[in-house]
């Protein structure tokens, strides 16, 4: 039996797919051509539903594929994301507005309806078998099955193949399958969804559905990340939304942080090898990337500051998503370097997917040893947190589940002054267990491996956003380098009187007066008032999330 026939037999037995045409394990070049020829759907808000969605640039197949999502889905459809609330998982899942319960009976009726839809239309389905994870023991087999060649092409960029030998993989019984069907438009009354689209994970049955107008490429990545965030902690392994790198002496580091805090930029260090920039697991053997690629934001990209991403935009096997075409110029005549990366007319969330090996300084096997340092990144636009704090175990758990950063005035309609943002574990939408599960695992692994932890503030100094200035990148790098080198392990500290955070009194390459943020304000009393306001926001968040009941000590 040929590999395609074996796949067809598995999909027939597993789901009842009988009359579809499978385009299995195509090369990236083949998927590139198929995407341009066949991927059709909504591209413009008032346009038809059969517009071309994928295009070549002037570089043809030797350059990036350019793809445009449904204009109603230029990011993850969080309000339409669910997990099936079966008894086996119902009490373990962290239910929230962006990961809601889906009725098991409704799903058990919906899945066959989707399969019948594909059989009735004799759909052509693109499939690829990859893994989520580089760690051979904990990598999960992931099978993508979908109507768009672009999505299979994306999965081949983002996920590794060949992590385990074919004979060691039982995808039918142990693997996860994501079925992506843009042509199936949900009926809320019939299907139990909230709109005409849905992303639904059935953890017990090891299947996920992506239905309707939800064709943003990132859905195919983050859905699997959400699954890993349930599976791995259940095995005692810590899944993490973080970047990671390793130094010449084998000293690994993990950097947690929300968007805008410097997670990707600070992990891209010419003196350290990159393990990955987004999703990792800390197992009994060390750190391993989940992915084989990066999915970077392109909006306002500074090509001089981000030369790896800039160069990769002209490389073969990459994918540019939702960057507008130039006025009066066909995409086929456009060099990728000509794109206006400041253009947010489609979305602020323009994206670029590229393989890890586009980066010339990647750790072998996208893995590293147990970390010596953990960095919790925040960008405090209130201008009151210390540039660096050395955390105790209780501090780590508190600030990890808090996941604080801040929105800037002017970044969203109605935001006129900095606003606090709290995202537990620095990635709440993707965390499928309750935050305390990850916090306890983190604390245990830090104890087992004697890992240090610092809170690094890349935000404002001398006043809030609009008054003060952004932390000097030179000082931030010096603080990070000192923490990674262990130069702050025995340094003299002082306790911040409002935030109760230990601050170093000295650091190589950083003026001592900068290390206490109160010293950088012209009006110390105004600083105290602003610091108390932010502290009270931390306290209110702690109480609202009932962290005391979850065993997280109140350190503030």
Of 217, 234, 251, the residue at which a domain comes to its end is: 234
On whether both 378 and 412 belong to a single domain, the answer is: yes
Domain tally, the chain: 3
The answer to whether residue 284 is catalytic is no
The answer as to whether 365 is a domain residue is: no
Question: 467 is written with which tokens?
Answer: 């008054």
pLDDT in tens, 469-496: 999 989 999 999 999 999 999 999 999 9
The answer as to whether 288 is a domain residue is: no
Q: Quick one: CA torsion of 478, 484, 485, 487, rounded to 10 degrees?
A: 70
Q: Which of 278, 380, 423, 476 is catalytic?
A: 278
Of 358, 379, 406, the residue at which a domain comes to its end is: 358
On whether both 418 and 470 belong to a single domain, the answer is: yes
Q: Select from 240, 223, 220 the least CA-distant residue to 232.
A: 240
The answer to whether residue 407 is catalytic is no
pLDDT at site 541? 96
CATH no. for residue 330? Answer: 2.170.8.10
CA distance 287 to 284: 9
Torsional class of 524: left (φ above 0), alpha (ψ -120 to 50), beta (otherwise): alpha
For residue 423, the SS3 value is coil
The answer to whether residue 452 is catalytic is no
The answer to whether residue 528 is catalytic is no
CATH no. for residue 390? Answer: 3.90.228.20
The answer as to whether 290 is a domain residue is: no
Spell out the residues 6+ positions from residue 48 whose beta carbon is closer than 8 angstroms to its own.
42
CA distance 531 to 384: 5
Angle 149-158/28-38 helices, nearest 10 degrees?
150
Q: Which of 197, 221, 351, 545 is catalytic?
A: 351
Q: CB neighbours (10 Å) of residue 270?
A: 7
CA angle 29/132/85 to nearest 5° reads 120
Q: Which of 221, 263, 433, 496 is catalytic?
A: 263
The answer to whether residue 222 is catalytic is yes
pLDDT at site 259? 79
On whether both 114 and 57 belong to a single domain, the answer is: yes
Domain span at residue 313?
295-358
What DSSP line would sit under 43-74, residue for residue?
-STTS-TTEE-EEE-TTGGGS-EEE---TT-S
On whether both 425 and 306 belong to a single domain, the answer is: no
The answer to whether residue 127 is catalytic is no
pLDDT at site 101? 98
First to last CA, the chain: 64
Low pLDDT (below 70) residues in the chain: 408-417
The answer as to whether 144 is a domain residue is: yes
On whether both 399 and 485 belong to a single domain, the answer is: yes
The answer to whether residue 263 is catalytic is yes
On whether both 211 and 255 belong to a single domain, the answer is: no
Whether 241 contacts 212, CB under 8 Å:
no
The answer as to whether 407 is a domain residue is: yes
Q: CB neighbours (10 Å) of residue 555?
A: 18
pLDDT at site 417? 62
Of 234, 258, 273, the residue at which a domain comes to its end is: 234
pLDDT at site 408? 58
CA angle 462/466/472 to nearest 5° reads 50
pLDDT at site 2? 83
pLDDT at site 473? 86
The answer as to whether 328 is a domain residue is: yes
Whether 420 contacts 406, CB under 8 Å:
yes
Question: 315 is written with which tokens?
Answer: 């490389």
On whether both 346 and 388 belong to a single domain, the answer is: no
CATH no. for residue 88? Answer: 3.40.449.10
On whether both 378 and 302 belong to a single domain, the answer is: no
On whether both 279 and 311 belong to a single domain, the answer is: no
Phi and psi at residue 35, to the nearest 5°: -60, -45
Q: Which of 76, 151, 399, 496 is catalytic?
A: 76
On whether both 279 and 196 belong to a single domain, the answer is: no
The answer to whether residue 76 is catalytic is yes
Spell out the residues 6+ positions from residue 202 whose beta carbon is closer than 8 angstroms to its own.
83, 84, 86, 107, 111, 208
Phi and psi at residue 393, to the nearest 5°: -60, -45
Q: Which of 23, 213, 222, 465 is catalytic?
A: 222
On whether both 215 and 276 belong to a single domain, the answer is: no
The answer as to whether 289 is a domain residue is: no
Angle 435-449/219-234 helices, nearest 10 degrees?
60
Whether 387 contacts 411, CB under 8 Å:
no
pLDDT at site 415? 42
The answer as to whether 364 is a domain residue is: no
On whether both 225 and 244 belong to a single domain, the answer is: no
């Amino acid at each position: 039996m040929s590999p395609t026939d074996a796949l067809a037999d598995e999909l027939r037995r597993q789901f009842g797919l009988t009359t579809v045409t499978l385009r299995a394990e195509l090369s990236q070049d083949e998927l590139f051509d198929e995407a341009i020829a066949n991927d059709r759907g909504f591209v413009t808000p008032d346009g038809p539903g059969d517009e071309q969605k994928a295009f070549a640039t002037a570089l043809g197949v030797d350059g990036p594929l350019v793809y445009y999502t449904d204009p109603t889905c230029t990011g993850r459809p969080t309000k339409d994301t669910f997990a099936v609330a079966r008894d086996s998982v119902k009490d373990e899942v962290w239910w929230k507005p962006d990961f809601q319960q889906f009725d098991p009976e409704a799903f058990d009726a919906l899945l066959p309806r989707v399969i019948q839809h594909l059989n009735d239309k004799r759909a052509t389905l693109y499939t690829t078998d990859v893994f989520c994870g580089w760690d051979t023991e904990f990598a999960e087999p992931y099978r993508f099955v979908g109507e768009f060649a672009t999505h299979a092409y994306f999965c081949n960029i983002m996920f590794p193949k060949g992590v385990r030998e074919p004979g060691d993989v039982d995808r039918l019984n142990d693997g996860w399958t994501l079925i992506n069907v843009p042509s199936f438009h949900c009926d809320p009354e019939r299907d139990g969804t909230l709109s005409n689209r849905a992303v639904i994970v059935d953890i017990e049955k090891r299947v996920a559905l992506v239905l309707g107008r939800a064709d943003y490429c990132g859905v195919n990545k983050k859905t699997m990340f959400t699954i890993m965030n349930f599976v791995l902690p259940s095995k005692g392994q810590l899944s993490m939304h973080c970047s990671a790198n390793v130094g010449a002496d084998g000293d690994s580091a993990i950097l947690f942080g929300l968007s805008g805090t410097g997670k990707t930029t600070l992990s891209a260090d010419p003196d350290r090898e990159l393990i990955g920039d987004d999703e990792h697991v800390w197992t009994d053997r060390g750190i391993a990337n989940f992915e084989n690629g990066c999915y970077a934001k392109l909006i306002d990209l500074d090509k001089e500051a981000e030369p790896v991403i800039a160069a990769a935009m002209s490389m073969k096997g990459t994918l540019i998503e939702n960057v507008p075409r130039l006025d009066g110029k066909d995409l086929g005549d456009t060099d990728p370097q000509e794109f206006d990366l400041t253009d947010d007319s489609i979305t602020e969330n323009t994206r670029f997917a590229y393989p890890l090996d586009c980066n010339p300084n990647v750790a072998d096997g996208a893995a590293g040893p147990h970390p010596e340092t953990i960095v919790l990144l925040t960008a405090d636009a209130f201008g009151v947190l210390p540039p660096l704090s050395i955390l105790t175990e209780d501090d780590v758990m508190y600030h990890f589940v808090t996941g604080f950063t801040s929105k800037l005035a002017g970044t969203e309609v109605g935001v006129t002054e900095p606003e606090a943002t709290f995202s537990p574990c620095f990635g709440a939408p993707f965390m499928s267990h309750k935050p305390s599960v990850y916090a306890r695992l983190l604390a245990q692994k830090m104890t087992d491996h004697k890992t240090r932890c610092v809170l690094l503030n890349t935000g404002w100094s001398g006043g809030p956003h609009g008054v003060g200035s952004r932390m000097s990148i030179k000082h931030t790098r010096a603080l990070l380098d000192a923490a990674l080198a262990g130069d702050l392990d025995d340094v003299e500290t002082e306790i911040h009187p409002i935030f109760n955070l230990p601050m170093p009194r000295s650091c190589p390459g950083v003026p001592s007066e900068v290390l206490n943020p109160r010293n950088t304000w012209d009006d110390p009393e105004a600083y105290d008032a602003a610091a108390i306001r932010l502290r009270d926001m931390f306290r209110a968040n702690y109480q609202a999330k009932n962290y005391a009941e979850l065993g997280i000590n109140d350190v503030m």
